[in-house]
C-alpha cells in the first residue's frame, strides 16, 4: 500500500513539474516553492527533477493571446490628490465620463429612475470609485445600516466588483452605504453553488459617503496592494461591474447592462474589462500581532460521578498573522498561535435526515482566495473542508501555526496550505497539507486542475487524497463539470479497496427559458477524505432539475415566475438497492414589490439497511419507507425596515407525520438598532410506536451600532433537545483598518438542572476574552 501511494505521488509530481514549471524564471521560482513545501511535508524529494528542467514558455504571448484589447476600455489615470470624505468635489471627476448605468431590476434596460453618475479612476497606488447618486426625494433615502459587512437589502448601497485576475470566475466586491458603512466580500465559481459568496473575507481599503439635499455621494479607494493581479508589459486587465441599489423600489442600476436572464448581478464572467497601465505592483507586507486575555469555566463530572464540578482556567495568549507579497503575482499568509476568538458562533441545526450537517467556514485565515481550494462534488461534498483543521469533536484546538500561499501566472494559478495543530483528547498533534493548481483551457470560462491533501500525526496515521477536476463551457451558457478523487489511508490496507469518488454535471447557467442541471456521481465505500467533508458514503447518485423561467413585460407587476421539477435517486454500492429517492414539483413567483412566493410537493422513498438515529432520540427500524409532503414559503419585501420569511411543511415522515414551521423576522428598528430572529419548530408523531416529539430551535440576534467603528452584538439560541440557552456577546472597536479591539463572551445555561442525576450545574461552560490586534504595514 505504501509503495502504491509513493508511486502515485511520484506520477503527480512529474505531471506538476513538467506542465507547471515551463514558465518564466519568476513564475518557476514561486511555484517551485509551493510544490517543494507540500511534498516536503509528505516526505517526497523532487529537487533533482526540478533542476533538470530547461524548457521555458513566454507568458507575455499567453497574456496577449488571451486578451482582445479591442473590447477593453481604458481607465483614466490621475495625478490629483483625492480626499476620501464622501463629497466627490475634486475637479477632475467632472472631466471623466460617467459609466452608463441601466436598470436590471425591475425594468431591465431602462434608464435609472434617479440620476446616477458613477465614475472610476486610478493613480499609481489606488483604484477610485465615485458615485453622485442624485435623489429627487432625499428624505426617502434608505440609510438603515452602519455595521461593517452587512449585506442587507433594506439600505441603499453603491460600489463595484473587480475580477482582478480577469479569470471570469472570481471577483472581489466593495460597497458603501449612505451611512458610510463598508462591505467587502469574495465571489467565486461565477456565483454557482451555495458557497459562492464569502462575506467573511476582508482586506484594507477606504470608503466614505454623505447625504445631502441633492441625494447621497460616495467614494471608494482601494490600494492596488490589496488587489491580487497580474501585469504584463505594464498593462493590467481587470473585469469591473459597478452599480447602485435603491432600496425603496428594489431597483438595481448596473454597468455594464444586464437583463434578468443573466442571473446574479455579481457574476464575474459578465464584467466589463478595463485596462490599467503602469500601476504600482508593490505587494503587501503586513504583520498583525495580537494579545489576548480572559478566563473560562467548564462543568465536568467528578471522578466518582456523583456531582458536576467547575474547572476554571486563566487565558493569556500572544500570536500574530502576517501577509507578505512574493513578487507581483503571489501572496503568503503566515499565522503563529492562531486565534479565532472574534469569529461569529455557528447557528445551531437539528439533524432530521440521513446526512451529516454542514457548517460554513467563518475564520478569516481561510478566506484568502478560498475559491482556489474549492474542490466540490455538488453542493456540499468537498475534498478540502477547512473546518477539519483546528476543530476536534466540535471543540476548537490550538493551531501552532501555518502558511498559505497563492500565486497566479497567466493561465495558471497555484495554492498551498500547511498547518500544525496541537494534541487534544485522544487526537495527537497533526499536520495538514493542501496543494492546489489550476489552469484555463479551451476558453476563458473553462479550467482544469488538480488537488492533493495530506493529513498525518507522524505516528503512523496518514491520509492522502488526490483529485482532478475540470469545468468546461460548451456553448452559450451550458457547462460541463467533472471531478475525480481517490483517497489512501493507512487503515485500509486492501489494495483492491473501493476508495475513489467521481462526479459529472451538465447545467445551464442562464435564467431565461428552460434551465437544467443533470448530474451523476459515485462514492466508494472506502473513500475517506480526512480533510474533506462527506454527507454520505458508499453510494451512487443520479439527479436532474428542470426549471422554466418566464420574465413578463415591463408593464407587468411580476418580475419572474415559473415551475421547477427535480428528482434525485441514490443507490447503495454495496446494498445494490435504491436507498433514497426525492421527487419535487414546485412553482415560484417574484413580484416587483419584492414578494417571493414558493410552493412545492415532494415524494420520498427511504430504504434503511440499519437502524437510523435521528435527533431527539428517535430510532427508525430498518425497512422501506414511502412518504409525501407539501410546503409553501413566503418572503416579504426585504427593502422594508421590517421583513420576514416563513415556511410551512406538512406531510408524512417515514412511518409517522411531521409538521415544520420556520419563521425568520428582521427588524431594522433604527439605523443603529437591528433585531433579527429565527424560529424552527418540528412536530413529530409516530402513532404506531406511541412517540411524539416537539423540537424547537430559536435564535435571537441583536445589533447596536454606536458608529461605523464601534458595534455591539449579542445572540441567544435555544435548543429544546439539549434544553440549553447558548449566548454570545461581542463588542468590536475598529478605529481603522487593521486595528481591532474585541470583548467576547460565550456561555450556555441549562433550562432544567434537575432533569438528570447527578444534578447539572446552571451552566456547562462560560468564556470571556479580551483581544487586541494592531497591524504594522511596511
With 90 as the cut, is the pLDDT of residue 565 above it?
yes
| Banded pLDDT at 493 (limits 50, 70, 90) | low
With 80 as the cut, is the pLDDT of residue 373 above it?
yes
Neighbour count for residue 726 (Cβ, 10 Å)? 20
The reported pLDDT for the residue numbered 328 is 62
- Fold held by 69-277: Immunoglobulin-like (2.60.40)
Phi, psi of 687 (to 5 degrees): -60, -35
The reported pLDDT for the residue numbered 708 is 85
Task: For the chain, give the longest Cα–Cα distance.
Answer: 81
- 515 with 546: CB under 8 angstroms? yes
48 vs 578, which has greater pLDDT? 578
Mean pLDDT in residue range 514-528 = 94
With 60 as the cut, is the pLDDT of residue 137 above it?
yes
- 449 with 407: CB under 8 angstroms? no
Neighbour count for residue 451 (Cβ, 10 Å)? 26
**Cell triple for 408:** 497566479
Write down the number of H helices and E strands in the chain. Answer: 4, 43
Condensed to tens digits (0 to 9), the pLDDT of residues 11-46 reads: 333 333 333 334 344 444 444 444 444 444 433 333
Does residue 573 come out as left (phi exceeding 0), alpha (psi in the -120 to 50 range) or beta? Answer: alpha
Please state the length of the chain. 778
Mean pLDDT in residue range 648-661 = 95
In 3D space, the residue among 238, 250, 217 whose CA is nearest the CA of residue 168 turns out to be 238
- 326 with 337: CB under 8 angstroms? no
| Banded pLDDT at 733 (limits 50, 70, 90) | very high
The reported pLDDT for the residue numbered 12 is 37
Lowest mean pLDDT, pick from 108-122, 212-226, 275-289, 516-530? 275-289
With 80 as the cut, is the pLDDT of residue 612 above it?
yes
The reported pLDDT for the residue numbered 17 is 35
Query: In this structure, which long-range contacts are made by residues 181-185, counting pairs with CB atoms below 8 Å and at least 24 apart in sequence?
Result: 181/145, 181/146, 181/147, 181/148, 181/150, 181/155, 181/708, 182/148, 182/149, 182/207, 182/708, 183/148, 183/149, 183/150, 183/151, 183/157, 183/159, 184/149, 185/149, 185/151
339 vs 20, which has greater pLDDT? 339
The reported pLDDT for the residue numbered 258 is 84
Q: Is 242 helix (H, G, I), strand (E, B) or coil?
A: strand
| Banded pLDDT at 559 (limits 50, 70, 90) | confident
Q: Tell me the average pLDDT of the chain.
A: 86
What sign results for the dihedral spanned by CA atoms 387, 392, 397, 403? Answer: negative
The reported pLDDT for the residue numbered 346 is 79
Amino acid at each position: 500500500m505504501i509503495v502504491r501511494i509513493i508511486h502515485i505521488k511520484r506520477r503527480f509530481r512529474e505531471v506538476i513539474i513538467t506542465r507547471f514549471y515551463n514558465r518564466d524564471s519568476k513564475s518557476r521560482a514561486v511555484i517551485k516553492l509551493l510544490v517543494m513545501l507540500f511534498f516536503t511535508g509528505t516526505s517526497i524529494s523532487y529537487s533533482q527533477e526540478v533542476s533538470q528542467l530547461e524548457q521555458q514558455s513566454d507568458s507575455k504571448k499567453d497574456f496577449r493571446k488571451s486578451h482582445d484589447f479591442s473590447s477593453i476600455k481604458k481607465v483614466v489615470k490621475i495625478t490629483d490628490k483625492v480626499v476620501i470624505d464622501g463629497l466627490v468635489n475634486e475637479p477632475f471627476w467632472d472631466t471623466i465620463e460617467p459609466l452608463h448605468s441601466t436598470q436590471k431590476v425591475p425594468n431591465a434596460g431602462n434608464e435609472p429612475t434617479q440620476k446616477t453618475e458613477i465614475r472610476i479612476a486610478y493613480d499609481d497606488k489606488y483604484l477610485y470609485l465615485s458615485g453622485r447618486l442624485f435623489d429627487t426625494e432625499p428624505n426617502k433615502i434608505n440609510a438603515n445600516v452602519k455595521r461593517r459587512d452587512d449585506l442587507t437589502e433594506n439600505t441603499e448601497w453603491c460600489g463595484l466588483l473587480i475580477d482582478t485576475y480577469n479569470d471570469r470566475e472570481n471577483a472581489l466586491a466593495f460597497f458603501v452605504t449612505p451611512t458610510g458603512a463598508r462591505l467587502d466580500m469574495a465571489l467565486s465559481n461565477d456565483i454557482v453553488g451555495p458557497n459562492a459568496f464569502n462575506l467573511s473575507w476582508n482586506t484594507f481599503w477606504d470608503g466614505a459617503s454623505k447625504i445631502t439635499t441633492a441625494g447621497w455621494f460616495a467614494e471608494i479607494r482601494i490600494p492596488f496592494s490589496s488587489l491580487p493581479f497580474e501585469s504584463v508589459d505594464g498593462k493590467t486587465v481587470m473585469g469591473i461591474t459597478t452599480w447602485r441599489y435603491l432600496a425603496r423600489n428594489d431597483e438595481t442600476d448596473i454597468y455594464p447592462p444586464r437583463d434578468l436572464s443573466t442571473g446574479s448581478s455579481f457574476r464575474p464572467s459578465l464584467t466589463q474589462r478595463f485596462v490599467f497601465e503602469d500601476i504600482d505592483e508593490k505587494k503587501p507586507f503586513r504583520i498583525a500581532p495580537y494579545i489576548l486575555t480572559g478566563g473560562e469555566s467548564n462543568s465536568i463530572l467528578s471522578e466518582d460521578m456523583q456531582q458536576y464540578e467547575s474547572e476554571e482556567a486563566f487565558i493569556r495568549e500572544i500570536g500574530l498573522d502576517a501577509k507578505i507579497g512574493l513578487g507581483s503575482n503571489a501572496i503568503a499568509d503566515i499565522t503563529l498561535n492562531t486565534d479565532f476568538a472574534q469569529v461569529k458562533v455557528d447557528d445551531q441545526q437539528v439533524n432530521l435526515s440521513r446526512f451529516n450537517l454542514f457548517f460554513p467556514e467563518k475564520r478569516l485565515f481561510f478566506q484568502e482566495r478560498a475559491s482556489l481550494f474549492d474542490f466540490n462534488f455538488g453542493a456540499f461534498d468537498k475534498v478540502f473542508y477547512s473546518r477539519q483543521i483546528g476543530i476536534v469533536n466540535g471543540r476548537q484546538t490550538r493551531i501552532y501555526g501555518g502558511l498559505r500561499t497563492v500565486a497566479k501566472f497567466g493561465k495558471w494559478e497555484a495554492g498551498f496550505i500547511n498547518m500544525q495543530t496541537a494534541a487534544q483528547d485522544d487526537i495527537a498533534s497533526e499536520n495538514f497539507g493542501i496543494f492546489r493548481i489550476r489552469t484555463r483551457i479551451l476558453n476563458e470560462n473553462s479550467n482544469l486542475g488538480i488537488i492533493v491533501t495530506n493529513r498525518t500525526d507522524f505516528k503512523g496515521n496518514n491520509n492522502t487524497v488526490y483529485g482532478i477536476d475540470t469545468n468546461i463551457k460548451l456553448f452559450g451558457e451550458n457547462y460541463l463539470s467533472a471531478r475525480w478523487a481517490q483517497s489512501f489511508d493507512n487503515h485500509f490496507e486492501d489494495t483492491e479497496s473501493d476508495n475513489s469518488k467521481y462526479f459529472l454535471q451538465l447545467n445551464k447557467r442562464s435564467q431565461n427559458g428552460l434551465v437544467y442541471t443533470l448530474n451523476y456521481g459515485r462514492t466508494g465505500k472506502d473513500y475517506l477524505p480526512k480533510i474533506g467533508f462527506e454527507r454520505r458514503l458508499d453510494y451512487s447518485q443520479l439527479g436532474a432539475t428542470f426549471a422554466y423561467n418566464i420574465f413578463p413585460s415591463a408593464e407587468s407587476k411580476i418580475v419572474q415566475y415559473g415551475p421547477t421539477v427535480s428528482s434525485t435517486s441514490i443507490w447503495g454500492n454495496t446494498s445494490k438497492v435504491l436507498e433514497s429517492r426525492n421527487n419535487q414539483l414546485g412553482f415560484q413567483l417574484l413580484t416587483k414589490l419584492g414578494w417571493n412566493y414558493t410552493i412545492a410537493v415532494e415524494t420520498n422513498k427511504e430504504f434503511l439497511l440499519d437502524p437510523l438515529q435521528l435527533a431527539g432520540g428517535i430510532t427508525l427500524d430498518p425497512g422501506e419507507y414511502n412518504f409525501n409532503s407539501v410546503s409553501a414559503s413566503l418572503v416579504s419585501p426585504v427593502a422594508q425596515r421590517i421583513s420576514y420569511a416563513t415556511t410551512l411543511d406538512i406531510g408524512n415522515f417515514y412511518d409517522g407525520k411531521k409538521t415544520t414551521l420556520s419563521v425568520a423576522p428582521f427588524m431594522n428598528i433604527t439605523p443603529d438598532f437591528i433585531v433579527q430572529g429565527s424560529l424552527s419548530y418540528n412536530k413529530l408523531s409516530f402513532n404506531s410506536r406511541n412517540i411524539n416529539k416537539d423540537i424547537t430551535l430559536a435564535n435571537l440576534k441583536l445589533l447596536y451600532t454606536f458608529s461605523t467603528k464601534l458595534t455591539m452584538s449579542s445572540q441567544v439560541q435555544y435548543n429544546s433537545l439539549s434544553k440549553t440557552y447558548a449566548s454570545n456577546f461581542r463588542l468590536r472597536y475598529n478605529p481603522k483598518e487593521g486595528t481591532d479591539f474585541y470583548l467576547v463572551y460565550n456561555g450556555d445555561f441549562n433550562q432544567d438542572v434537575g432533569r438528570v442525576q447527578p444534578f447539572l450545574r446552571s451552566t456547562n461552560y462560560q468564556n470571556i476574552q479580551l483581544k487586541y490586534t494592531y497591524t504594522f504595514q511596511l
